[in-house]
Chain A
């Protein structure tokens, strides 16, 4: 059973719009989340990480974390066509391995 669930599976937003992606872990021991972005045919690259409750902003990207519900969300404002990619959420629980979700495929329409 997959321990990291992402929603939606796919998302289409207009250029300039807001994209909101969700991720929840079912493992109560998770204490660290990452968001990676993977453009088509490329390898994943880290966008942001978060381990404290609250919000973290970097440019157009904002990440929220609610540790009680083990839920994190990624918000992209002023979305650009170049943001079109697979967004992967990953969680770690004090062990050596990252568990990845199955991703959200984001398409930003010009």
Chain B
């Protein structure tokens, strides 16, 4: 049963283009996250958003930016994609810190 929704499922684009991915959760959770999962399946946190407070992993390039309209939505924008951005981007939510995180199905990005 999916409660964290992501669109699109797949996206293929060229270097330098801008892309946006959407995420919505219907669990009533207060915190949402974006993760990047690379080809070796390593999962890395990119952003956390809680009560309009954004926390950024300092290793994330500036071309990535999260966008939130309310606590149920957290979108991800990549301003000028690069080949190393090819990965699966996973959105997640949790009731609070230290609580179980529920993941969406992911968006697979391929940068040509």
Residues of A within 8 A of B (CB): 32, 34, 38, 42-46, 49, 86, 88, 92, 96-100, 102-103
Evaluate contact between A45 and B103: CB separation under 8 angstroms.
yes
Closest 9 CB pairs of A and B: A43-B103, A100-B43, A97-B45, A46-B100, A96-B48, A102-B42, A96-B55, A44-B103, A43-B105
| CB within 8 Å of A: which B50-102 residues | 50, 55, 57, 90, 97-98, 100-101
- Residue of A88, A97, A99 with highest tally of chain B CB at under 10 A: A97
A-B contact sample (18 more), CB < 8 A, given A49-B100, A88-B43, A96-B55: A32-B98, A38-B41, A43-B103, A43-B104, A43-B105, A44-B43, A45-B103, A46-B100, A92-B97, A92-B98, A96-B50, A97-B55, A97-B57, A98-B45, A98-B101, A100-B42, A102-B41, A103-B41
Complex Cα gap A49–B105 (Å): 22
Is the CB of B29 closer than 8 A to any CB of chain A? no
**Nearest-CB residue, chain B, relative to A103:** B41
Docked-complex contact B40 and A102, CB < 8 angstroms: yes
**B43, B45, B48 interface centre (most CB from chain A within 10 Å):** B43
A103 contacts which chain B residues (CB < 8 A)? 41-42
B residues less than 8 Å from A97 (CB atoms): 45, 48, 55, 57
A100 to B42, CA, bound (A): 7
A88 CA to B37 CA, complexed, in Å: 12
Contacts of B50 on A, CB cut-off 8 Å?
96
User: Whole-angstrom distance between the alpha carbons of A32 and B100 in the complex?
Assistant: 11
> Please, which residues of chain A bring their CB within 8 A of the CB of B43?
44, 88, 100
Please, which residues of chain B bring their CB within 8 A of the CB of A32?
98
**Cβ < 8 Å to A, chain B residues 11-42:** 40-42
**B4 nearest in chain A by CB position:** A43
Assembly CA distance A109 to B48 (angstroms): 39
Complex: A49 Cα to B97 Cα, angstroms: 13
Q: How far is the CB of A1 from the nearest CB of chain B, in Å?
A: 12
B residues near A98, Cβ cutoff 8 Å: 45, 101
